[in-house]
Each structure stands twice: as C-alpha cells, then as structure tokens.
Amino acid sequence: MEKYCSNCGNKISDKAVFCMNCGVSLQDNISKIENQINHENKSIPGNAISIAGMVLGIVSAFFALISMFMIF
C-alpha cells in the first residue's frame, strides 16, 4: 500500500518518520488520525441509543393508536 504525506502529498515509505519533501512529522499525523477514529467511535453508542429511543417511541405511539381504536 502506497502512503502519501498528508501535508504535501509526496509519496513516502512505510517506515518514514518525517516527510523527505516538506519535513512534517508523520507520527503527529498518525496521532491525529487515531484521535479522530477514537472520537468517531465514541459517538456511535450515543447515536444508537437515540435511534433506539425514537423507534421505541414510534412503536409505542402505533400501539396506543391501535388500542384506542379497538376500544371504540
């Protein structure tokens, strides 16, 4: 898999620590990417709970309407 510097786009080796073209630290870029991935993964459970709550509310409303019509 070819890797490229996120700062200048220069092709870099898999073992490079700095970009030979612009000098940016590739370790800093890796840390930033890992932080973004970890942040995105943390928000998934909150979204799942919100979606589950909405589905539960819709299902509850549906059954409430059905039971209301069955009474009459």
Write down the pTM of the prediction.
0.37
pLDDT of residue 34 exceeding 70, the answer is no
Q: Report, as an integer, the average pLDDT of 41-60.
A: 79
CA–CA separation, 49 and 55 (whole Å): 10
Domain boundaries, the chain: 3-71
Strand partners of residue 25 = 18
pLDDT at 40: 57
Beta strands in the chain (DSSP E): 3-4, 11-12
pLDDT of residue 44 exceeding 60, the answer is no
pLDDT at 59: 94
Which tokens is 46 given? 């909150």
